[in-house]
Amino acid sequence: MKQLSILLLAIALFACTKKEAPKAEKFTQYVNTFVGTDGPGNTYPGAVVPFGMVQLSPDNGIGGWDRIAGYFWPDSTIAGFSHTHLSGTGAGDMYDLLLFPTNSRFTNDLWPDQKAYRPYSKFSHENEEASPGYYKVLLESSGIKAELTTTERVGMHRYTFPKDSASKIILDLGYALNWDAPTETVITIENDSTISGVRKSRGWAPVQHVYFVAKFSKPFKNTVLSPATDLTAEEQTVNGKRARFETTFSNNEGEQVLIKVALSSASVEGARKNLQAELNHWDFDAVRRTADQKWEEKLATITIDGSDYQKEVFYTNLYHLFLTPSLLSDIDGDYKGADQKIQKANKFKRYDTFSLWDTYRAAHPLYTIICPDQVTNMVESMLAHYDETGLLPVWSLAGNETNMMIGYHAVPVLVDAHFKGIPMDAQKAYEACRASGMNETEEMKLYRKHGYVPFNEEGENWSVSKTLEYSYDDWCIAQFAKALSKEDDYQLFMQRANNWKNLYDGKTNFFRAKDTEGKFLEPFSAKAYTNVYCESNAWHYLFAAQHDIEGFRDTMGTERFTSLLDSMFTYYPEPDDKLPIFSTGMIGQYAHGNEPSHHVPFLYNFTNEPQKGQKYIRQIIDTQYSNKPDGYCGNEDCGQMSAWYVFASMGFYPVNPANGIYYLGSPSVQNATINLPNGKTFTVQATNNSAENVLVKTVKLNGELHTEPYITHEQILAGGKLIFEMAVK
């Protein structure tokens, strides 16, 4: 017996001293989905998987700029949970299929919107939780706990009810917010636990169709279809602009009701197929785990060393990068095309929500590094849009072209992808690029005639910005033409690529508007916000010739070029200057809250003083991003604001997003490793890095001194190590 005791003690001691294998780092723990829900970020906190069709998130129920994504951190009300949302834009659209649970405890007044009354619940952030693919909140007005998770095409709700004899779940297709308005809604009760229908609406995107099938885990007891409340037993369908479904039931304390809502842009049957393929069970926690794993896989594409704060900011930005573009096609490939016909995506996933004026700058180049397989889907989606409309997308959403913003910036995305080896039909892609560059709008005819877009007093003319953006896109088409041995087109578009010179004023050193006679518009103030610059002023567009920075620098002279760069970061607005809503994140006249300025701090690489750019890059990283709800200084804009941070924190950025060159900056993380899809790794290391040591002393690539101010896409894909030796500022 004594020997047995000694043996057991030895086993116990061995068990206590045996080292456990270290657990793998979990990246989703660093993501704060509430970042951007306060201030101008315009993000939503709800459940979504990477590039998912469903964005299931709470709506405060109040309209306005601050609530453009449906949710605003300072608010304390929730009107329900809708299934579609936009991330970080200034466009008030989507909010489809609002579900709201309530019960007899519910005492809050109903508030009126323009045409209907709807309930809302109080809530507090103390009783709210979110992580990638999951959202939870206590609806304090009813005591109901709401939880949300998703697959790609199916949203899943889990509501935990207190004991009540009059619990209720409402599906309100008439609910609308901001620019969105229903045009036709239909709800059909299929059986005692399934409803289906469609919400057709008009908003920023003019023709939106969201078909759905919703299954409930608890059979219906008492149902009401509105507005027709006197339907007979045989009449199980209601339609109109504001169809609404209610089911009322009794429940025990802690009883849970689950709902699965599958979406489709094509048909109810498409939604049904999506539901059967993606969620044929009722295990909410399993769906949540799968969503979390999908996010882990995406976030693991880049691993960094740094403080918890640095990881929280980095991985939150990387998370936002993967929210858009969003899936449009069903499991069988069907989707509503931009020609309003049902199309089929064969052997690719059809994406939409392309905010190209923003994302061509850094988000799409970053996708080519960390998820080239998804870039293939994006390329095919853009070419499908071309098949449907005759042009590439400008700002496409929900199977529509909104024509918001300027340029034909699908072009640099396609050209960049082609030169980086992304599989595509190159001849068709070129044909599509050329068609967009030769479109027959009156404005483009004027651009081709004059070599610039002439000033027009009416509306948002944006003539200077358009000329500069078109000039860049033309350069991209020229490179594509040259690669395909289309010499005549190469010469044509290279000539147009020089059109930036036609609006450059050597006296003021700014790009200025001209009339049809070639005269500069007077009077001129570089800091004035006028209708000739798109959401900007002359300062913001000063360095917009991204494809010909050397030519622009040589035109004005290196000394003047450097001086204007200095002034851009030091010439602050006066206290009485009225800044528009999009001029945020201001450092002098540099506006990090809007996209045209994003490449500018890296332009010091074209001067003899690159250290100045390094200082400003670190200032932007440190002051314009955080892990708080107001952690974005401007609209997050479908991944562009986040892509800037991810690139810059690793120490490089694509000044020209279509030439495969990344200019060096000042890395803020100690180490970053890109786990490339080809199985190799590319590591960036910053030695002696600190808040004070922001200047780059030397750079080594794979052990060799690296004297170029940039690295190439090929060097990254080859794998290796880039080492920055940092010094005090």
> From CA 393, how far away is CA 387, in angstroms rounded?
11
Q: From residue 515, how far is each of 404, 502, 522 by CA, in Å?
A: 24, 12, 10
Instruction: Quickly tell me which residue has 């006028």 as its tokens.
Output: 530
Instruction: Summarize the confidence of residues 264-290 as an average pLDDT.
Output: 98
- Orientation of helix 640-650 relative to helix 610-623, angle to 10°: 130
Which structure tokens are listed for 513?
């508007």
> From CA 301, how far away is CA 297, in angstroms rounded?
7
Which structure tokens are listed for 7?
């043996």
Q: Is the pLDDT of residue 126 over 80?
A: yes
CB atoms within 10 A of CB 146: 24
pLDDT at residue 229, rounded to an integer: 55
- Under a CB-based contact definition with an 8 Å cutoff, are residues 141 and 121 in contact? yes
Among residues 248, 224, 218, the alpha carbon closest in space to that of 238 is found at 224
Among residues 323, 291, 245, 284, the alpha carbon closest in space to that of 156 is found at 284
Phi, psi of 210 (to 5 degrees): -125, 100
> From CA 160, how far away is CA 558, in angstroms rounded?
66
Instruction: Summarize the confidence of residues 343-354 as an average pLDDT.
Output: 98
Instruction: Summarize the confidence of residues 510-518 as an average pLDDT.
Output: 97
Instruction: Summarize the confidence of residues 70-75 as an average pLDDT.
Output: 97
Q: Is the pLDDT of residue 353 over 50?
A: yes
Cis peptide bond upstream of 182, omega within 30: no
Write the secondary structure of 272-334 as one string of H (helix), E (strand) and C (coil): HHHHHHHCCCCCHHHHHHHHHHHHHHHHCCEEEECCHHHHHHHHHHHHHHCCCCEECCCCCCE
pLDDT at residue 481, rounded to an integer: 98
Of all residues in the chain, the percent with pLDDT exceeding 90 is: 91
The fold for domain 354-439 equals Glutathione S-transferase Yfyf (Class Pi); Chain A, domain 2 (1.20.1050)
Q: Is the pLDDT of residue 597 over 80?
A: yes
Among residues 544, 404, 361, the alpha carbon closest in space to that of 90 is found at 404
- Kindly indicate the confidence band of residue 402, based on its pLDDT and cuts at 50, 70 and 90: very high
pLDDT in tens, 189-219: 999 999 999 999 999 999 999 999 999 999 9
CB atoms within 10 A of CB 426: 13
Q: Which residues contact 697 (CB under 8 A, 6 or more apart)?
A: 725, 726, 727
Instruction: Summarize the confidence of residues 26-45 as an average pLDDT.
Output: 98
- Under a CB-based contact definition with an 8 Å cutoff, are residues 86 and 353 in contact? yes
Q: Is the pLDDT of residue 16 over 60?
A: no
Q: Is the pLDDT of residue 233 over 70?
A: no
Instruction: Summarize the confidence of residues 230-249 as an average pLDDT.
Output: 84
- Kindly indicate the confidence band of residue 5, based on its pLDDT and cuts at 50, 70 and 90: very low
What's the CA dihedral at 78, 81, 85, 91 to 10 degrees?
Answer: -40
φ/ψ region of 411 (left if φ > 0, alpha if ψ in -120 to 50, else beta) reads alpha
pLDDT at residue 232, rounded to an integer: 58
- Orientation of helix 410-419 relative to helix 372-389, angle to 10°: 130
DSSP 8-class letter at 85: -
> From CA 246, how far away is CA 225, in angstroms rounded?
7
pLDDT at residue 501, rounded to an integer: 98
DSSP 8-class letter at 691: S
Q: From residue 509, how far is each of 2, 163, 452, 501, 540 by CA, in Å?
A: 94, 72, 17, 11, 13
pLDDT at residue 114, rounded to an integer: 43
- Under a CB-based contact definition with an 8 Å cutoff, are residues 725 and 698 in contact? yes
Of all residues in the chain, the percent with pLDDT exceeding 70 is: 94
| CA end-to-end distance (rounded Å), the chain | 72
Among residues 523, 519, 501, the alpha carbon closest in space to that of 511 is found at 501
Which structure tokens are listed for 683?
């590591």
Q: Is the pLDDT of residue 707 over 90?
A: yes
Q: For the purposes of burial, counting CB atoms within 10 Å of the CB of 254, is it exposed (0-12), middle (13-18) or buried (19 or more)?
A: exposed
- Under a CB-based contact definition with an 8 Å cutoff, are residues 523 and 508 in contact? no
> From CA 620, how far away is CA 613, in angstroms rounded?
10
Phi, psi of 320 (to 5 degrees): -65, -25
Q: Which residues contact 313 (CB under 8 A, 6 or more apart)?
A: 625, 626, 627, 631, 645
The fold for domain 440-544 equals Glycosyl hydrolase family fold (1.20.1610)
> From CA 125, how far away is CA 139, in angstroms rounded?
11
Whole-prediction pTM: 0.95
Q: Which residues contact 120 (CB under 8 A, 6 or more apart)?
A: 60, 61, 77, 78, 79, 108, 111, 141
> From CA 543, how far away is CA 342, in angstroms rounded?
43
Range from 170-184, 185-199, 233-247, 579-593 carrying the lowest mean pLDDT: 233-247
- Under a CB-based contact definition with an 8 Å cutoff, are residues 712 and 662 in contact? yes
Task: Give residue limits of the domains in the chain.
Answer: 29-299, 354-439, 440-544
29-299 CATH pick, 3.40.50.2030, 3.40.50.720, 3.90.1200.10, 2.70.98.10: 2.70.98.10
Average pLDDT of the chain is: 94
> From CA 386, how far away is CA 393, in angstroms rounded?
7
Range from 82-96, 98-112, 435-449, 521-535 carrying the lowest mean pLDDT: 98-112
> From CA 194, how far away is CA 210, in angstroms rounded?
17
pLDDT in tens, 363-383: 999 999 999 999 999 999 999
- Kindly indicate the confidence band of residue 108, based on its pLDDT and cuts at 50, 70 and 90: low
pLDDT at residue 235, rounded to an integer: 66
> From CA 250, how far away is CA 76, in angstroms rounded?
28
> From CA 377, how far away is CA 54, in angstroms rounded?
18
- Kindly indicate the confidence band of residue 22, based on its pLDDT and cuts at 50, 70 and 90: low
For every residue of 605-671, DSSP letters joined together read GGSS-HHHHHHHHHHHHHHSB-SSTT-BSS--TTTHHHHHHHHHHHTEE-SSTTTTEEEE----SSE
DSSP 8-class letter at 160: E
3-class secondary-structure state, position 8: helix
Q: Is the pLDDT of residue 456 over 70?
A: yes
Say whether 440-544 and 354-439 share the same fold. no
